[in-house]
Amino acid sequence: MNNLVEIRNLRVAFDGVPVLHGIDLDVAPGEALGLVGESGCGKSVTWLAALGLLPGKASVSGSVYLQGQDLTGAPRQALERVRGKRVAMIFQDPSSALNPVIRVGRQIIEALRLHRGLAGTAAKTEALRLMDLVGIPDARNRFNLYTHEFSGGQAQRLMIAMALAGEPDLLIADEPTTALDATIQAQILDLLITLRHEMSMATVFISHDLAAVAQVCERVCVMYAGKIVEEGPVAQLFDTPRHPYTQGLFDAIPSLSGPRRRLVPIPGTVPDPRHLPTGCAFEPRCARARTFCTQHRPELLPQPEGRQLACAYPVPVAQDAVQPEEEYQ
């Protein structure tokens, strides 16, 4: 077994309402994996559950292995050692992870002490190196500032510096650029890509922005209503999406070149977790659905070309665009 992380049959329910319906997911060392899907489909909950960060009212089952070590049911102390040290998570909103009343330099030093046992000048030197690494200009003079004295993009960089303090094997970036300007988003995406290569650290990039994911990641998981519905290499999913939901997500992205066109929405909205359709959760919004779909929930199954897919009537692989659309069984 040489996966860094293996998630098996992960299920989460809040107040008896299931929101994750059995997630199986692997992350290989050093790879960049994207997790996409509309708001509420369970992207964040998957990783919060895996790292034991959900509130007590959440009931979690299934298993999460980090290099063979089972994290589910691990004692709190063991989990705390893993978090930050071996797996670090950065969030959309830096203020949730940075302390407004402690100088930023101190916060990074504290993370270094906790995860790497560094202290004194060694810690300070390393903290400055990390601030440089994430591109904080003039780090030496800004070491003693508070977070509100940094811009949004810089606060995001500081959070990344904190996350790197433990030299993690896996960095989970949950919508790290959504709140930032386009030009600053581009800087942060660039930084994530560079860091990943320099530190040979695996990255899970959670986003609704399929285009950003396609640029950063090698492999993508598409989630819908608490399940993975399609998984595969970025280029494969992008060139020939097979799940109607994946195709819908790609089609909905307005283009920046070519003729201007009317946008292509996915009709309807994501289902309420309390009233999930009995069959395929996407069926009410799916143009390819048939009666079969209203009764049977499709399983995520491996396909010959390497991807995994959960759909009874997937989008045909167009061999030849002029051929009439073939029915798939």
Binding site for ligand ATP (CB under 6 A): 14, 19, 37, 39-45, 55, 208, 273
Determine, following the binding rule CB under 8 A, whether residue 121 of this chain makes contact with another protein: no
User: How far is 187 from 230, CA to CA, in rounded Å?
Assistant: 29
Determine, following the binding rule CB under 8 A, whether residue 214 of this chain makes contact with another protein: yes
Determine, following the binding rule CB under 8 A, whether residue 202 of this chain makes contact with another protein: no
Q: Decide which of ligand ATP, Mg ion, another protein, none touches 273; Cβ closer than 5 to 8 Å per partner kind.
A: ligand ATP
Site track for another protein across 168-197, x = CB under 8 A? -------------xxxxxxx-xx--x----
HSE-up of residue 92 (Cα within 13 Å, Cβ side)? 9
User: How far is 175 from 301, CA to CA, in rounded Å?
Assistant: 28
User: How far is 218 from 27, CA to CA, in rounded Å?
Assistant: 11
Q: Decide which of ligand ATP, Mg ion, another protein, none touches 247; Cβ closer than 5 to 8 Å per partner kind.
A: none
Residue carrying the six token digits 């100088």 = 103
Residue 4 C-beta: closest distance to another protein, Å: 24
Q: Decide which of ligand ATP, Mg ion, another protein, none touches 153; Cβ closer than 5 to 8 Å per partner kind.
A: another protein
Judge residue 11's burial from the number of C-beta atoms within 10 Å of its C-beta, 0-12 exposed, 13-18 middle, 19 or more buried: middle
Determine, following the binding rule CB under 8 A, whether residue 92 of this chain makes contact with another protein: no
Under 8 Å between Cβ of 112 and 127:
yes
Give the Cβ contact number of residue 93 at 10 Å: 16
Q: Under 8 Å CB-to-CB from 154, ≥6 apart: which residues?
A: 136
Residue 204 C-beta: closest distance to another protein, Å: 17
Q: With CB under 8 A as the contact rule, which of the stretches 160-168, 249-257, 273-281, 306-314 interacts with another protein? A: 249-257
Determine, following the binding rule CB under 5 A, whether residue 44 of this chain makes contact with Mg ion: yes
SS3 label, residue 23: strand
User: How far is 108 from 75, CA to CA, in rounded Å?
Assistant: 26
Footprint of another protein (CB under 8 A): 38-39, 137, 151-154, 181-187, 189-190, 193, 208-212, 214-215, 238, 248-250, 252-257, 260-267, 269-270
